[in-house]
Amino acid sequence: MGPGFESSMDMTLDEFAARVGSDGPVTISGSGSQGGAVVDVRAVTAPSGIVRIDAAEMVVECGAATPVDELLDALAEHGQTVAMPPGGTVGGTLAVGRSDITRLGHGPLRDVLLQTRYVSAAGEVTKAGGPTVKNVSGFDLCRLFVGSWGTLGFFGDVILRTRPVARNIRWFRSDRDPLELLRDVHRPVALLWDGASTSVRLDGDDGDIARAVERFDLTETSGPPPLPGPHRWSLSPSRAMDAARSVDGSFVVELGVGVVHHSGG
C-alpha cells in the first residue's frame, strides 16, 4: 500500500441501513471475540474494508467490521498504528470500549475515534464527530458511542486517529516497588503488575531506554505477560492494587489506569 492508499468497503452504508431496518430487535454479528451471540434476535453484519489511509494527516477510514489485525497490518506498512487491542473487529472493539494495554502511554480508546457514520434506531444513517484531529465544533458524541454496546446505534464506518510506530518498542521486567516505577519511570507506555513483578514497556530512543534500564535495573523480556481472564474490573487507579490482592486466582493490574484482569470470581 503506497501513500494515499484508497480502497472500498464491501457494502454501502445505505445497504447496511436497509439490513438493520427500523422494526424488531436486531444485533450486530462480528467476529464473536467481544461476547456471545444474542438468541432470538436478527443479526446483521456491518461494512468491512479499509477505505483510505492518510498517513500525512494520521487518520484511517474503514468499515466497522474490518478486523483490527488487518487494520494494524495495513497501517504498519505506513509506519503507523492505532491504539486498539489486537483481535476482533474495529466496530466491536469500539462498542465494548476496551482500550489497549498501552492506555497509560497512548490514552484511552475513546480518544481514537474521530468520526463515525452509524445507523440509528430509526434505520437511518447519521454522522457523529469530524474527519480530522483538529475537529472541535459541537458536542463530542463520538465519546458517547465508545463503550455504548450498540445501544445508541450501530457503527457503519469510522475515521480513527493513528500514531507513528515508535523507533524502538521494548518490554522489561522489574522486581522493584510498582508504585516507585509508576512514579519515577519517564513516560512508560505500559506498567503491568502481577503481584510479584512489574512488566514495563518503553518506546523511543535507544539512549533514553538504556538510561532507564540502568537506573531501574530492568531485565528485558520478549513481550507482555499473558492477561488472565475471563474477568476484568475497571476501578480508580488508587484502588486497583488492593482490589487485585483480594482475587482468588491470578491477576494483572494495569498500573496508573485501574484495570484489573483476573481469573478469580
Q: Would you state the pLDDT for residue 2?
A: 47
Q: What is the mean pLDDT of the chain?
A: 91
From 164, 183, 207, the end of a domain falls on: 164
Res 94 pLDDT > 70: yes
- Residue finishing a domain among 131, 164, 197: 164
Q: Is residue 7 part of a domain?
A: no
Residues in Cβ contact with 90 at an 8 Å cutoff, skipping those fewer than 6 apart: 62, 63, 64, 65, 66, 67, 68, 71, 84, 155, 158, 160
In the chain, how many domains are there?
2
Q: Say if 2 falls within a structural domain.
A: no
Task: Show the domain range for 130.
Answer: 13-164
Average pLDDT over residues 182-189: 96
Q: What is the CA 218 to chain-centroid distance, rounded? A: 27
Residue appearing with cell numbers 483538529: 134
Total-model pTM:
0.88
Per-residue pLDDT at 112 exceeds 50? yes
In a domain, 42, yes or no: yes
**pLDDT tens by residue, 224-236:** 999 999 999 999 9
pLDDT tens string 10-35: 889 999 999 998 888 888 886 565 55
Give pLDDT tens digits for 171-181: 999 999 999 99
Asked if 103 and 193 sit in the same domain, the reply is no
**4 within a domain of the structure (yes/no):** no
The answer to whether residues 148 and 176 belong to one domain is no
Alpha carbon dihedral 39, 41, 42, 45, in 10-degree steps, equals: -70
pLDDT value of position 231: 93
pLDDT surpassing 70 at residue 246:
yes
The yes-or-no verdict on residue 1 having pLDDT over 50 is no
Q: What integer pLDDT is reported at residue 84 of this predicted model?
A: 97
5 within 8 A of 113, measured Cβ to Cβ: no
> Is 220 contained in some domain?
yes
Is it the case that residue 59 has pLDDT exceeding 90?
Answer: yes
